[in-house]
Amino acid sequence: MTRPQRVNVVPHTHWDREWYRTFQDLRLALVEVLDALLDDLAADPALTHFLLDGQVAAVDDYLELRPEREAELRAHLRSGRVATGPWYTLPDEFLVSGETLVRDLELGMDRAEELAGREGAAMAVGYLPDTFGHIAQMPQLLARAGLDHAVVWRGVPGAVDRTGFWWEAPDGTAVRAEYLPTGYGNGARMPDEPSAFLARLDAWIELVGDLVRDDPILLMNGTDHLPHQRGLPPLVDAVTAASAGRFDVGLSSLQEHLAGAPTDGLPHWRGELRSSARANLLPGVTSNRVDVRQAAARTERVLEQEVEPLWAAFAPAGLWPGRALDVAWKAMVRNAAHDSVCACSHDEVVDAVHHRYAEARQIGDALLAQGLRLVGAALAGDDQVAVNTLPRARGGLVRVSRPGHRPEPGEQLLAATPPLTLLHTLPATAAPAVLESELDVRPPIHGVAFVDADDGALELHLQTDRTARGRFPARPSVDRMRSLADAAPHRVVRIQVADAARRDVLRRVDGVPGYGWAPVAPAPVAPVTAADRRLANGLASVEVDAEAGTFALDGHAGLGRLVDDGDAGDTYNHCPPDRDVVVDGPEAVVVRMGEPGPLRASLVVDARYRLPERVDDATSSRVGGRDLAVSTVLELRAGEQFVRVTTTVDNVCEDHRLRAWFPLPQPTRTSAAGCAFATVTRGLDVESGPTETGVATFPSRRFVQAGGLTITHEGLPEHELVDIQPGSGATALALTLLRATA
Ligand SMILES: [Zn+2]
């Protein structure tokens, strides 16, 4: 007689904190779901397990509105009847930094232990049921957090032919991965009638075929935002009885299932999981909202590479700004949730994501300024110093404010107008008296400029010049301010002082030691020159093609060609329309001089393109026409061997994808891109699946390299090797600047 096949039913819910509904809307739904769950846990001892989605945020979100049930929920977390963690939120792995993933795990595991009141309370499973593909180093991240198991769905390649496989990171660390062949809802809403339950189970077994064999079956009883299924304990017993010895069905925790899952003879996979073969990967999330990608990258940079190293290296330990950083990181980790950062969401959700990034960055910016003041206070003397928050020695341009009017050798004068210092922000009615006292106490003032600021405020620039003689007659300016205040009493007024005896200049510093500092003494460097559509600094030269709007770097031409094609897809997937129109050249180009050098020089390429306005759904073709203005700044700095490119687009068209193409010095079949704690090499081919066409667009973190060209960037643009020639490979790399789908 054969033994019955074990079926482990794991009751759970998958809780996207925010997505097509706002956070607060979904949280009120979460309160209903967890209220009902706690009621049933109290009433029915046979309800032995519930998986709260592997993310502790759901617990905190609930308890904020239901503090009266905290003791009850904590008791279930302590006993393990309710499992949560190890994550704080279930992250997207490609759209946030490796450090953010580490903080997400740390926060989740610490908070799970705190709530449960015992060590090791977080679920010891790297549960990633819905994430849009998985980074190469995830096995290493999980193993270093003490986790031996991963649970994944999207991105698993066709080569994996079991529900379990060994997943290895580039460093060689492997974890056992449980593959959910049809996702995390294969046991959601099971029929209440045993024979119907069995029919559904048999249909699933037939669907997944050899993937499961006679291994224990994992039935994930729950899905997106679903309440727990009532009456489950007696139902599974009835199903076992009705199966006539074929199945042994029971409630289980995910950890219990994995403890009994096979480990011998499993397939092996090394590196990232980005295949469309078995489930929709949704790769277009990398390019749907470049503004969110840029906000994420900027905030990660200030926290990870500036503030934390600065304070760790230079500030006394007792001053470590731990609480402020915790607030910033909590915002980062909340944003890391896959349906938050992916930005395939309600507009209000994307606004909330931006707001969290802004707050985290504001904390970072403020701590950076405070930290630099601490360094300054600790250093004797008045010399300005450059501080390096990275481990390697480096140099570059720094902006300094110093006395005097003219540039000295090795400097570039920045602002023709003197630098401004804000003294007061106040309503117009209060301004005349304050202005009068400032003019009284702050000689030598030699003029007051009234300036209408862009934000609607009135700015008063008090001009000071230590060389001026005589006393400035204050009365006319005060009278003028009084009459302006009478006309607009609520207008915001900013009183600023402009020190005409100071100037902002650029200087180049060299060899600032890693985690160290050096005086800002101008370093000798060959100047950069700008003339006649050409920039040169002795190390690199840039020349603009004024017809094509492209540029050459050291004679390698055609770089930065903008190519616009149609996109009939959505925020998750790019999809070319049936009848596409590809625009790959401008209607008009104007090249003008930006900065002149000698340390920083730039050319500005203003181009006008004529693009179809949208994709007509009925005919799947691009229709209409609009002008699109694109401004590209090419900047070369003294002492640098690369060109900096900044492209600004005010998008006016729908349903399209705008990419910058870079012809490669040599054709290639591979690209290498930065990823979380790894460089990942990808080829030209990707797997397709029954419901998604694989596309060879990939994310890169900070850099991508192909065919002798390296592009570094902030934000996370997707790239693709394009213009593939039979026999030789790709001849260009395309970088997505924006994808706009309606
Ligand atoms: Zn999800």
Ligand 1 mean position, distance from CA 710 (Å): 34
Listing DSSP states for 563-588 in one string gives EEEE--S-SS-----SB---B-S-SE
Ligand 1 mean position, distance from CA 14 (Å): 7
Ligand 1 mean position, distance from CA 567 (Å): 25
Ligand 1 mean position, distance from CA 297 (Å): 22
CA dist., res. 566 & res. 612, Å (int):
8
pLDDT of residue 421: 83
- Does pLDDT of 443 surpass 70? no
Ligand 1 mean position, distance from CA 334 (Å): 14
CATH class, range 529-740: mainly beta
CA dist., res. 638 & res. 627, Å (int):
36
Ligand 1 mean position, distance from CA 737 (Å): 26
pLDDT tens-digit map of 339-394: 999 999 999 999 999 999 999 999 999 999 999 999 988 887 778 899 999 999 99
Tokens standing for 324? Answer: 């402020």
Q: Which amino acid is at 472?
A: F
Structurally, at CATH architecture level, domain 5-286 sits in Alpha-Beta Barrel (3.20)
Ligand 1 mean position, distance from CA 287 (Å): 19
Q: Which amino acid is at 396?
A: G
pLDDT of residue 383: 83
pLDDT tens-digit map of 298-345: 999 999 999 999 999 999 889 999 999 999 999 999 999 999 999 999
β-strand partners of 561: 661
CA dist., res. 176 & res. 198, Å (int):
29
Ligand 1 mean position, distance from CA 56 (Å): 15
The per-residue pLDDT of the chain, averaged, comes to 95
Mean pLDDT of 20-29: 98
β-strand partners of 275: 155
Ligand 1 mean position, distance from CA 305 (Å): 30
Q: How many of the other CB atoms lie within 10 Å of CB of 428?
A: 20
Ligand 1 mean position, distance from CA 434 (Å): 55
- Does pLDDT of 539 surpass 80? yes
Ligand 1 mean position, distance from CA 130 (Å): 5
Ligand 1 mean position, distance from CA 63 (Å): 21
Ligand 1 mean position, distance from CA 561 (Å): 37
Ligand 1 mean position, distance from CA 340 (Å): 10
CA dist., res. 90 & res. 128, Å (int):
7
Smallest CA-to-CA distance from 46 within 192, 234, 238 is with 234
The answer to whether the Cα torsion of 227, 231, 234, 236 is positive or negative is negative
Ligand 1 mean position, distance from CA 93 (Å): 13
Ligand 1 mean position, distance from CA 132 (Å): 9
CATH class, range 291-378: mainly alpha
Ligand 1 mean position, distance from CA 337 (Å): 8
What DSSP designation does 319 have?
G
> Which residue ranges make up each domain of the chain?
5-286, 291-378, 385-416+502-519, 420-498, 529-740
- Does pLDDT of 449 surpass 80? yes
Query: Is the distance from CB of 713 to CB of 642 less than 8 angstroms?
Result: no
Ligand 1 mean position, distance from CA 151 (Å): 14
Whether 529-740 and 291-378 are alike in CATH topology: the answer is no
User: Residue 314: helix, strand or coil by DSSP?
Assistant: helix
Ligand 1 mean position, distance from CA 624 (Å): 37
User: Residue 86: helix, strand or coil by DSSP?
Assistant: coil
Ligand 1 mean position, distance from CA 33 (Å): 17
Q: Distance between terminal CA atoms of the chain?
A: 59
Ligand 1 mean position, distance from CA 691 (Å): 18
Ligand 1 mean position, distance from CA 17 (Å): 9
